[in-house]
Amino acid sequence: MKKTAYQSDGNGGVIAVEIEVDEKTFISKLVLTDRLIALGKLSDALNALNSDTVKKARWDASTEIAIDDADVIAVLTAIGITNTSTILY
């Protein structure tokens, strides 16, 4: 997706330039939690998160999760969800 950004023209002015931006897709943490409950995997996911303070802190601080978040995918894979696209959509 292209977006407009603004930068200095080197002479004290500003010019508009188009840049390519990757749009991230996010999922609500509540939706993800509900899907883990439905799969019977919530306890496993929480145990995995609690074993890593950084991942746990990031989880606690967020309200949404990027569907391509490497840490989330690693936790899901570790608890036996190998096809993460079935839960992260």
**Residues 45, 34 contacting (CB under 8 angstroms):** no
Residue 35: per-residue pLDDT? 97
- Has residue 49 been placed in a domain? yes
Q: What is the pLDDT of residues 24-81, one digit of tens each?
A: 899 999 999 999 999 999 999 999 999 999 999 999 999 999 999 999 999 999 999 9
> Domain range holding 68?
24-79
Query: How many structural domains compose the chain?
Result: 1
Distance (Å, whole) CA 46 – CA 37: 11
The CA-atom distances, in angstroms, between 85 and each of 4, 31, 51 are: 31, 14, 24
| Statement: the pTM of the whole predicted model exceeds 0.85 | no
Region of 44 (left: φ > 0; alpha: ψ -120 to 50; beta: rest) is: alpha
- Has residue 35 been placed in a domain? yes
- Has residue 42 been placed in a domain? yes
- Has residue 11 been placed in a domain? no
Residue 69: per-residue pLDDT? 94
- Has residue 43 been placed in a domain? yes
41: helix, coil or strand?
coil
pLDDT bin (cut points 50, 70, 90) of residue 2 is confident
Residue 75: per-residue pLDDT? 95
- Has residue 87 been placed in a domain? no
- Has residue 19 been placed in a domain? no
- Has residue 17 been placed in a domain? no
Q: What is the pLDDT of residues 13-32, one digit of tens each?
A: 999 999 888 888 999 999 99
